[in-house]
Amino acid sequence: PRVHFQWWKRPSGVAAVCLGLLCVLLLAGIIGLSVYYKLQTSSNTLTIERDQLQKERDDLMRKFSNLKQTCPEGWRKFESSWYFLSTVIKPWDESRQDCLERGADLVVINSDKEQEFLNNLNQYFWIGLNDSVTEGTWKWVDGTPLNTTRYWGSRQPNGGGGENCVLFLFSSSDQGKLHDYPCSDVSSWICEK
**CB-facing half-sphere around the CA of 117: CA atoms within 13 A:** 20
- Helix H or strand E encompassing 68: helix 11-68
Q: Is the distance from CB of 82 to CB of 192 less than 8 angstroms?
A: yes
Interface with ligand NAG (CB under 6 A), residue from 95, 119, 130, 187: 130
Positions 57 through 86 that interact with ligand NAG (CB under 6 A): none
The dihedral built from the CA positions of residue 178, 182, 186 and 189, taken in this order, carries a sign that is: positive
- Judged by CB under 6 A, does residue 93 bind ligand NAG? yes
Beta carbons within 10 angstroms of residue 96's beta carbon: 22
**Contact map string, positions 134 to 173, toward ligand NAG, x by CB under 6 A:** -----x-x--x--x----------------x---------
Identity of the residue, 103 or 162, whose beta carbon is nearer to ligand NAG in the bound complex: 162
- Judged by CB under 6 A, does residue 132 bind ligand NAG? yes
Q: Which residues bind ligand NAG (CB under 6 A)?
A: 92-93, 110, 130, 132, 139, 141, 144, 147, 164, 183
